Amino acid sequence: MANNRTFTMLKPDSVEKGNIGPILEKITSSGFRIVAMKLTQLTTADAEAFYDIHKERPFFGDLVTYMTRGPIVAAILEKDNAVEDFRALIGATNPAEAADGTIRNMFADSISENAVHGSDSDENAAIEGAFHFSGREMF
């Protein structure tokens, strides 16, 4: 059975461009309920830990710099089949390949500044959500 929660981050480019409201509207109008949310800023250590899976990749340093350059919005979302449905809603990592009407198609500028993160599995949704939120912060 699929988990009914997923994790997302509105990345620094989304916050900088003032797209928090329009992206959250797209998320909630697609049937997701926000069960936890906060505006925060990742430290270098936070970003390195969160993206540890990519530490051997050549883009890791640029990714950490990008994710720490300004605030992010972290959120846990709830909906039946949350992970799969949210991945469909955000679209392909490369906004040029993202389907019309997806968040990345509408709000992302490039593959490296792609507006939003979405967990890729139920297991990662739980890990990523716990990275940003304690149990008492979720409703």
Structure tokens at 91: 């679209």
Q: Which of 115, 117, 128, 133 is catalytic?
A: 117
How would DSSP label each residue in 56-83?
A: TSTTHHHHHHHHTSS-EEEEEEE-TTHH
- Name the amino acid, one letter, at 73: V
Structure tokens at 66: 């990008």
117 is catalytic: yes
Q: How far apart are CA 64 and CA 55, in angstroms?
A: 10
Instruction: Give the residue numbers marked as catalytic.
Output: 117
